Chains A and B, each alone.
Chain A
Amino acid sequence: MEYPVWHFTGISSGLLIAVVSVLHVFIAQFAVGGGIHLVWTEYRARRQHMPELLLWLERHTRFFLLVTMVFGALSGVGIWFSISAVNPGATSFLIHNFVFFWAAEWLFFLLEVVSLLAYCSTCRLTREGSMPPETHRRIGLIYAAAGVISLVLINGIITFMLTPGQGPSSGDVWDAFFNPTFLPSLVFRLALSLMLAGMFALFTASRIRDEAVRRLAIRSGAQWIIFPFFLLLAGSAWYFAALPPDRQDAILRRTSDIHPFVKTYGWILPAVFLGGVLAFVKSDHLRRPLTVLILCAGLMLTGSFEWIRETGRRPWIVEGVIYSNGVSVAQAERAGSEGAASVSGWLRAFDDMTGAGSDTAPPAQVIRLNGSLTRGALLFAQQCNTCHGLGGPRIDILPLTARLTPEGLAAQLQGQGKRLEYMPPFAGSQADRDALVVYLKQAEASHRPGPIPGAEYFKPRTSPSAD
């Protein structure tokens, strides 16, 4: 609430983070598993004297580099950019507390970049004898190790958000890092990484011209899906069991926003496994379209898992510390008694300009306010827009508010966090709630012709200049 808001109400701002994150995680975990896959396959091809397989591996390495280093690295930067633009308060909290873990992860990312460039640029030289194969394999091992360590470091921060453990109470960042889901999540992500390595291997192997080599590469890729699948199953179960009961309950019982993803995860997991088995059994007939389908299934698996994890965490970004809309527990408490402006300089400034708040003179720099920027719009952007869109896809707020009268909506806002426990409490006073209700009812009316039902109820209590 202390920050301005990127005002795009059509879709929820959280959707932007979700799209960027899922795409990044899909590729980043491929990078982790792919490193291990490259080293292992190279070792196997040399031990069994299969130069054709090594040639394919060279092409696959180039593909791997183009996908992971360009898209993977830039989408990782994209996550940082989007979270800092969408949820700066929570980002600041995480960065300040975990800065040295992130800094260490950056070092291993640097090692990944350098070792992958080295590995890729010396494939041909190794084939031609200018570099000993053992040295090339060692470079690959360094890359694979750096990838796994990066995963370990980021895993501690991500899992802290879902299960902070003793961290916030003891005030020790290591307690926070080694939290209750740290290990199960690591097992889960490692297994998924290996499976993704297999899926991408199928994608490039399906283009090998030589039939025998293609069969070998496809069967090898399929094994990377089949065997880690059991680890993934075990990891999923362990992960779920390590969650506190209220989180488990949220995942199993919550409806519209989480159920479709739980269902998707439930059927896509065996589908991916069957895809791997099919590729192994019918390796001679595997063509590019089917490998694309398997990759899409991998993306859906990654996406549905990440969505369940994110949604199951609600109403928190960091349980017990920051709500999913970026408002901290302390801020929500203060805003409840003193009004939203007491914790938001931007809202205070708005009130000063419109006269809705104190009698401070408007700052000289302000020429005029944007016509659509009402107090209610500002509160919506600050407290609702992270999850809810306004008339757009994903948790559109308008059909939900349309079911309620203005009085009912105001009552819901007042009880939010208690009655609707998966939602954060509304951080504000009666006047703040009124401003938001009027804004939502007006927005409803602009999407549905006709008078605003009952909006006049709130007019006497809301400053006309503010809304």
Chain B
Amino acid sequence: MISSAMTDAAILVPPPMTLPAPSSLLIPLQVLTFFAHLLLVNILLGSVLLAVLDRRSAATEEKNGVAFMPKILALAVNFGIAPFLFLQVLYGNYLYPGILLMAVWWMSIVMAVMLAYYGLYISDGAIRTSRRSAVLIPVALLLMGTAFLLTSASTLMERPDQWWRWFQEPYGLILNTGDATLLPRYLHIILASLAVGGLTMAWRAEWSLRCPGVDREKVLHRRRRGLTWFFHVSLAQIAAGLLFLFTLPGEARSMLTGGDLLFTAALLLALAGLAAALFLARRERLGPASLVTAGIILVMVCIRAMLREALLRPYHASPAASPSTALAMPHGQTAALTMFLICAVLIVPVLLWLARVVLRAFRNSPGTISPLGKEEN
């Protein structure tokens, strides 16, 4: 159904451009790469937050206890590029206006992540443990701010009816604060990060058990502590999820609550997964709990993509929507896609080889257990 507000706002939606490949291929690429990005962001943000909130259990006070964080950040930034690229192809005509409305904030994201990145290296290199932890506080704030701004951008693109605000405030300072879903969605991300941060804490403890001469009691306590964080935060996530659900526009909410079979089934699958992950965490089954959590995140990313499509569908269908602009160079796109897929296939064994030789070298080095959380002599 198209409301009058949507009909009016449709005038502001730029015409889309013809896609260079079927959306049935581009959407999975966007979803999968965004899943990888989100997983890395959750690991990073959760670990940084827990390093601030639960310093002892996060073990960041120990030598090289922060070493894994800048590496995860490097990968998170890298894996952010691909979904951003595919999002521009699929929804550029919605994304760019959203970005432009908050252009100043948008540009500040780059600076915030860069500062956080250097902050992590400073923290890693700090000799005094107090300084190491102190640096992590601004890093946590910068990363939380970045998550908020990205949440605002991704919701603003879905609300052309909010774009009118540009005529009052064209300076790039708008945030999507008029959207009731913004804060619940942000809370959802922060809690997800804390939960995954808990799992990361448990995994780091698990890996350090392999290091000779470690205090097993202490490490096992850290492992339990990580799973406890995961359990409690995931319980809180149920409340945040419900809040998110009830702030969604009526039509989208009803799709998730029985109105659409696929939407409802996906939400039920995520809820069932959450119940299973909670059960497994209570039983201290770290591996299965982590796998199920990754599965939940993937399902949530799919729900997110389906919701976006549902929220924007009225604008695609509006009589005010302009016809799409033809692609200037439609020929050779299949060959270009093939090149990309061949590169993707070829790169995997190289990445695996790199992981293998690095891990072997760390195993060969006495007192060193892992490149992500090494404990040196």
Contacts and interface: CB of A to CB of B under 8 A. Distances in A.
Interface of A: 2-8, 16, 66, 69-71, 73-75, 77-78, 80-82, 84-85, 88-89, 91-93, 95-104, 106-111, 113-115, 117-118, 121-122, 125-126, 128, 130-131, 135, 139, 142, 167-168, 170-176, 321, 345-346, 348-350, 352-353, 363-370, 373, 381
28 contacts: A5-B170, A7-B172, A8-B171, A8-B172, A85-B107, A93-B17, A99-B20, A99-B336, A100-B20, A100-B333, A106-B85, A107-B343, A109-B81, A111-B347, A117-B71, A125-B368, A135-B361, A171-B330, A174-B332, A345-B11, A345-B14, A349-B167, A352-B11, A364-B4, A365-B9, A367-B168, A373-B170, A381-B170
Contacts of A125: 361-362, 364-365, 368
In order of increasing CB-CB distance, the 5 nearest A-B pairs are A2-B14, A88-B96, A7-B170, A100-B336, A131-B361
Contacts of A5: 100, 170
A103 B340 contact: yes
B14 to A, nearest CB: 4
B99 interface: yes
A364 B78 contact: no
B75 to A, nearest CB: 6
A356 to B, nearest CB: 13
Nearest to A330: B325
Interface in B96-121: 96-97, 99-101, 103, 106-107, 109-110, 113-114, 117-118, 121
Contacts of B118: 66, 70
Contact of A91 (B15, B88, B339, B357): B88
- Chain B interface, DSSP helix/strand/loop, else mixed: helix
B357 A135 contact: yes
Given A109-B78, A122-B361, A7 B171 contact: yes
Contacts of A373: 167, 170
B203 interface: no
Contacts of B17: 92-93, 96
B335 A174 contact: yes
B141 to A, nearest CB: 18
A74 B169 CA distance: 28
A70 B114 contact: yes
B354 A6 contact: no
Please classify how large the interface on chain B is, using the bins under 10, 10 to 19, 20 to 34, 35 or more.
35 or more
A77 B77 contact: yes
Contacts of B328: 93, 97, 167-168, 171, 321
Given A6-B170, A77-B81, A130-B365, 14 more contacts: A2-B322, A4-B100, A85-B103, A95-B92, A99-B20, A100-B337, A106-B78, A110-B78, A172-B329, A345-B11, A345-B14, A345-B322, A346-B166, A363-B5
B113 A349 contact: no
Given A2-B14, A6-B172, A345-B12, A106 B81 contact: yes
Nearest to B357: A135
Contacts of A77: 77, 80-81, 110, 113
B271 to A, nearest CB: 33
Contacts of A115: 354
B207 interface: no
Nearest to B11: A345
B329 A104 contact: no
B33 to A, nearest CB: 9
Interface string B137-168: 00000000000000000000000010110111
B200 to A, nearest CB: 18
B315 to A, nearest CB: 12
B327 A96 contact: yes
A351 B282 CA distance: 62
B110 A131 contact: no
B97 A74 contact: no
B339 A100 contact: yes
B358 interface: yes
Interface string B1-37: 0001100110111110111110000000100000000
A128 B365 contact: yes
A80 B18 CA distance: 21
B92 A4 contact: no
Contact of A88 (B85, B92, B114, B354): B92
A8 B173 CA distance: 11
B26 to A, nearest CB: 8
Contacts of A114: 75, 351, 354
B78 A348 contact: no
Contacts of A381: 170
B8 A364 contact: yes
A365 B162 CA distance: 8
B167 A366 contact: yes
Contacts of A173: 329, 331-333, 336
A365 B78 CA distance: 39
Contacts of A139: 354, 357
A353 to B, nearest CB: 7
A335 B80 CA distance: 37
Centre residue among A103, A125, A364 by max chain B CB count within 10 A: A103
B78 A113 contact: yes
A8 B100 CA distance: 12
* Interface hub of A2, A75, A113 (most chain B Cβ within 10 A): A2
A131 to B, nearest CB: 4
B97 A4 contact: yes
A111 B351 contact: yes
B88 A122 contact: no
B340 A92 contact: no
A131 B357 contact: yes
A77 B161 CA distance: 28
A77 B8 CA distance: 34
A172 B332 contact: yes
A73 B79 CA distance: 12
A330 to B, nearest CB: 9
A33 to B, nearest CB: 20
B93 to A, nearest CB: 7
B344 A107 contact: yes
B246 interface: no
B164 A95 contact: no
A85 B365 contact: no
B296 to A, nearest CB: 25
Contacts of A6: 100, 103, 170-172
Nearest to A102: B85
Contacts of B101: 4
A166 to B, nearest CB: 10
A93 to B, nearest CB: 7
Contacts of A7: 170-172
B156 to A, nearest CB: 12
A370 B327 contact: no
A254 B334 CA distance: 41
Interface in B28-78: 29, 70-71, 74-75, 77-78
Contacts of A82: 107
B344 to A, nearest CB: 6
A465 B322 CA distance: 27
Contact of A167 (B107, B164, B329, B368): B329
Given A95-B89, A110-B347, A370-B170, A3 B100 contact: yes
Contacts of A101: 336, 339-340
B187 interface: no
